[in-house]
Amino acid sequence: MIVNLTATPYETTKKGDIKRMRHEGRIPAILYGHKEKSRSIFVEQRAFKKVLETLRQEAVTINLQIGEKEFLCVIKAIQHNPITDELFHIDFQHIHKKEKIKATIPIHIVGDAPGVEEGGILDQRLHEIVVKCLPADMPSRIEVDVSQLNLGDTIHLYDIDVPNTEFEMTKETPIVSVLVPRAVVAEAKPAAVEEGEEGVAVEGEGAEEAEEGKEGAVEKEGAKGKEGEKGKEGKK
């Protein structure tokens, strides 16, 4: 997207000119690029704030008009007053139509994902991306359609087609996914309790049998002992 903005050259002649300029609603700026001589300019704060509102939503290229000349530009830096957050200074870079430039492009999600309707969670991992292309090919935004995204599905950069544009990230980079939520439910297991109870009953029966076995062994030993006593008496 190209927006128009008017700028005015200025020269500081005495101390306090910059401060006075800001007080009057003007933002000091600089225009540079292609080994050209840098130009000190200012733009009207009200006009630039409109550009800034658009820039927050999508990437823009600026057609900067200075006098009778026009310069195709991108914004390279915006400085704010650290205390008042007032716009302090702007850097404009002059570009050429036949030269590729880098720009940060916002990613917008469109459509409704079926996986979300099934209880999934939409997880947007990438909100903007740096691209490289000619000014005429620069997209203002990249729209990612999630209307076919089911539970567990992911859209990667290689799924997105932006003509004549290079991404400054690997194509395997995920953009958006539908996560499958993990529900951890603590449930009682009556079957396990019943098995435990049966196990206890078996152990009880085994214990009784063991006791009976011990008693039988004692009785046998007692009988053998008595027979031994009788045998001794017979020998006598």
Under 8 Å between Cβ of 164 and 133 = yes
Write down the pTM of the prediction: 0.63
Please give the single-letter amino acid code of residue 176.
Answer: V
Under 8 Å between Cβ of 40 and 80 = no
As a residue count, the chain comes to 236
Q: How many Å apart are CA 98 and CA 43, to the nearest integer? A: 27
3-class SS at 116? helix
One of 3.65.10.10, 2.40.50.220, 1.50.10.10, 2.40.240.10 is the CATH number of 2-95, namely: 2.40.240.10
Q: What is the pLDDT of residue 221?
A: 52
- From first to last of its 236 residues, what are the pLDDT tens digits of the chain? 789 999 999 988 778 888 899 999 999 999 998 778 899 999 999 999 999 888 888 888 899 999 999 999 999 999 998 888 889 999 999 998 888 988 889 999 999 999 999 999 999 999 999 999 998 898 989 999 999 999 999 999 999 999 999 999 999 999 999 999 875 333 334 555 444 444 444 444 444 444 555 555 445 455 454 555 544 444 44
One of 3.40.50.11540, 3.20.20.70, 2.170.120.20, 1.10.357.10 is the CATH number of 102-179, namely: 2.170.120.20
Could you state, in order of their start, the residue ranges of all structural domains in the chain?
Answer: 2-95, 102-179, 187-220
